[in-house]
């Protein structure tokens, strides 16, 4: 019974640390660029798009598809970097132990 109580306390501590870490990650940002920096997306640790910068030179009415592709590339890369940041922080928190459903 003591072992179960100890495990429960450890789980509660881990949960509290996870909540704290998620709040911290929400304040951290990552960015990614596409088209040699013509488009830049900034995402936080909650995978929320915070900003999208588009160089006016890339805005050409005749080539909207290229602009769309650059936006998608920058946004997807920023989201990937955000997920990697979250996974790295979770790994530190769990000591590298893979816990299903966490990330």
**Residue 39 belongs to a domain with what CATH number?**
3.30.1310.10
The model's pTM is 0.73
Residue 100 counted as domain residue: no
Residue 29 counted as domain residue: yes
Residue 14 counted as domain residue: yes
Residue 78 counted as domain residue: yes
Residue 16 counted as domain residue: yes
Rounded to an integer, what distance in angstroms lies between the CA atom of residue 56 and that of residue 101? 42
Residue 99 counted as domain residue: no
The three state secondary structure string of 29-97 is: EEEEEECCCCEEEEEECCCCEEEEEECHHHCCHHHHHHHHHHHHHHHHHHHHHHHHHHHHHHHHHHCCC
Split into its structural domains, the chain has a count of 1
The residue range of the domain holding 8 is: 2-94
Q: How far is CA 9 from CA 2, 3, 15, 23, in A?
A: 11, 10, 10, 21
Residue 101 counted as domain residue: no
Tens digits of per-residue pLDDT, 23-71? Answer: 888 899 999 999 999 999 999 998 999 999 999 998 887 889 999 999 9
Q: Is residue 82 predicted with pLDDT exceeding 70?
A: yes
Residue 102 counted as domain residue: no
């Amino acid at each position: 019974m003591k072992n179960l109580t100890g495990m429960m306390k450890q789980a509660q501590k881990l949960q509290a640390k996870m909540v704290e870490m998620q709040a911290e990650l929400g304040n951290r940002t990552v960015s990614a660029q596409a088209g040699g920096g013509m488009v830049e997306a900034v995402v936080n640790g909650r995978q929320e798009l915070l900003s999208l910068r588009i160089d006016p030179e890339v805005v050409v009415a005749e080539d909207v598809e290229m602009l769309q592709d650059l936006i998608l590339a920058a946004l997807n890369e920023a989201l990937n970097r955000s997920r990697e940041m979250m996974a790295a922080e979770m790994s530190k928190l769990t000591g590298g132990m893979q816990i299903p459903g966490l990330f």
